[in-house]
Amino acid sequence: MCGLSGAAGWLTVKEEKAVKTLLIFSQIRGTDSTGIASVGRNIINGYRDVKVAKDVGPPYYLWDTKSFDRVFHGTNQLYLSHNRSRTVGEANRKNAHPFLLDHILGAHNGTLDNMNK
């Protein structure tokens, strides 16, 4: 199964470091892909500022990307991270979590059957 971790609240650098550490610890649950998202305190066009970074492989692959740096830029109120152990579907960025669909951010553990219904 996959690993989920995160933090919510008035987040500071202390919580940012904790989330990064949790992402490393959580890789024991899966290294096929890694993703993290942040929800900022600022509202843009009626929605919170959401940033997502995903890559194939373990967390340290993701850490070397600009998108990972952008997730932690600014003032955030939520971090959601996910380490994927592939059960269904390919190990690629499209299938990596978290997902951002319109204004909905999410991640899950396990397989979703009949998701189109």
- At position 35, the amino acid (one-letter code) is G
Instruction: Give tens-digit pLDDT for 6-16.
Output: 999 999 999 99
Task: Classify 27 as helix, strand or coil.
Answer: helix
Q: Which helix (H) or strand (E) holds 80?
A: strand 76-84
Instruction: Give tens-digit pLDDT for 44-63.
Output: 888 888 999 998 888 888 88
pTM, whole model, 2 decimals? Answer: 0.86
- At position 34, the amino acid (one-letter code) is T
With tokens 């579907």, the residue in question is 89
- At position 63, the amino acid (one-letter code) is W
Task: Classify 3 as helix, strand or coil.
Answer: strand
Residue 96 banded pLDDT, cuts 50, 70, 90 = confident
What is the C-alpha separation between 83 and 107, in angstroms, rounded? Answer: 10
- At position 73, the amino acid (one-letter code) is H
